């Protein structure tokens, strides 16, 4: 497979940056605030090694970093409204009827205990328990590209219930403890309410194992393919089985060899990703013509490597289409890689609630500029890893 180089940044996307920056002007109370935010955005897309206040200021031609730093704290603008602009921009430029909303989380390693939401917790970034913040993100994968469209900082319960720490970090009074699936559902619903074209919602087992999230999507007639653990139990019902329950791992273990189908779930860095797949309808859905099903993925050589998914979709959906949606879920990892490597998503120097959300919003917007610029020039933005 021919690897696609990531666009170089400002030089590649100069016209797109100007257009996006101009769209943001109404979101800022003062022209100076908008000018500094535009410089911050260009800096994130630039070639400086570290996207911190000093280096971004130097790239913008400032003699000191305060004007750049104010973008994340005291400058008057609403990061929630700019997030909505980001989502609308991606939907307009990359949206397609078969688009997929993908939810996942990533860790931001931190020292000390003052950065909002920081604690010793599991980070997929580190692959272990570590002192970090966790951000939950919503990505969008369309036919011509993919980008992040929403973000939420996970606030652990001990932070949510500590008035002193909340006040020091500027956590708004209306922010309560929310689980990661709860945060994910809020972002998904914001996207769907805004009219983002999404044929599927995809996510890993943190989100797939949450019944509240699944039922909320079903109530919206939104198809999903969500990973679950092998211990997940599901209800069966005629005509797909006797009334009862089954366990995902047991279904896979009792399956005959000729029931598996080998299909590709899309291209990866090493070419087509081929796996064996098992499709097991479970029960009819409340919506006529739809069903609940279990999908199992097996590595073609290491056959003890299994992954399980709960699926909600029209009963006549081809298996190849469901498999495509599963493959699309991995694009969020590419979004994280690009966001951290290209636009400094993890290189912020703020400890506050507002500062984190402002930086994350502008970083995702910078990445969207690259994705849209790449889509207009040819193939989707892709890493070379």
Span 106-164, pLDDT tens digits? 999 999 999 999 999 988 777 889 999 999 999 999 999 999 999 999 999 999 999 99
Average pLDDT over residues 163-185: 97
For 253-273, write each residue's pLDDT tens digit. Answer: 988 888 999 999 988 767 889
State the virtual CA torsion across 135, 141, 145, 147 in degrees, nearest 10.
-20
Average pLDDT over residues 9-24: 79
Residue whose structure tokens are 């006529």: 288
pLDDT at residue number 219 = 97
Task: Please tell me the distance from the alpha carbon of residue 316 to that of residue 220, in angstroms, as a whole number.
Answer: 19
pLDDT at residue number 378 = 67
The lowest-confidence range among 16-20, 197-201, 286-290 is: 16-20
Mean predicted lDDT score pLDDT of the chain: 91
Q: What 8-state DSSP symbol labels residue 318?
A: -
How far is Cα of residue 21 from the mean position of the Cα atoms in its chain?
Answer: 23
> Could you give the C-alpha distances from 45 to 135, 186, 307, 362, in angstroms and in order?
21, 29, 37, 10
- Asked if residues 154 and 184 have their Cβ atoms less than 8 Å apart, the reply is no
Of residues 272 and 285, which shows the higher confidence score? Answer: 285
Token reading at 153: 């900082």
Task: Please tell me the distance from the alpha carbon of residue 156 to that of residue 180, in angstroms, as a whole number.
Answer: 10
pLDDT at residue number 10 = 53
The lowest-confidence range among 233-237, 300-304, 374-378 is: 374-378
């Amino acid at each position: 497979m021919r690897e696609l180089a990531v666009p170089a940044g400002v030089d590649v996307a100069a016209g797109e940056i100007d257009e996006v920056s101009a769209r943001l002007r109404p979101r800022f109370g003062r022209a100076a605030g908008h000018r500094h935010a535009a410089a911050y955005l260009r800096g994130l897309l630039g070639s400086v090694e570290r996207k911190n206040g000093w280096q971004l200021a130097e790239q913008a031609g400032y003699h000191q970093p305060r004007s750049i730093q104010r973008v994340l704290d005291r400058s008057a603008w609403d990061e929630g409204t700019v997030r909505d602009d980001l989502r609308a921009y991606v939907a307009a430029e990359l949206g397609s009827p078969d688009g997929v909303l993908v939810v996942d989380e990533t860790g931001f390693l931190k020292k000390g205990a003052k950065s909002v939401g920081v604690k010793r917790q599991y980070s997929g970034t580190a692959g272990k328990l570590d002192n970090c913040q966790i951000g939950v993100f919503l990505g969008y994968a369309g036919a011509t590209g993919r980008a992040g469209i929403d973000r939420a900082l996970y606030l652990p319960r001990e932070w949510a219930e500590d008035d002193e720490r909340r006040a020091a970090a500027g956590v708004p009074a209306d922010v309560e403890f929310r689980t990661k699936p709860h945060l994910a559902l809020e972002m998904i619903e914001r996207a769907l309410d805004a009219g983002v074209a999404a044929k599927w919602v995809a996510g890993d087992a943190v989100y797939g194992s949450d019944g509240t999230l699944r039922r909320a999507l079903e109530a919206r007639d939104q198809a999903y393919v969500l990973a679950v653990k092998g211990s997940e139990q599901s209800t069966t019902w005629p005509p797909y089985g006797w009334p009862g329950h089954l366990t995902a791992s047991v279904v896979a273990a009792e399956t005959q060899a000729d029931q598996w189908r080998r299909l590709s779930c899309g291209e990866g860095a090493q070419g087509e990703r081929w796996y064996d797949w098992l499709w097991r309808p479970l029960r009819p859905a409340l919506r006529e013509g739809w069903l609940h099903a279990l999908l199992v993925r097996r590595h073609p050589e290491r056959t003890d490597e299994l992954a399980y998914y709960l699926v909600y979709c029209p009963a006549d959906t081809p298996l190849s289409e469901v498999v495509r949606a599963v493959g699309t879920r991995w694009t969020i990892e590419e979004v994280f890689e690009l966001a951290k490597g290209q636009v400094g998503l993890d290189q912020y120097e703020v400890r506050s609630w507002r500062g984190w959300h402002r930086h994350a919003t502008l970083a995702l917007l910078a990445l969207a500029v690259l994705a849209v610029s790449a889509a207009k020039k040819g193939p989707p933005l892709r890493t070379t890893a």
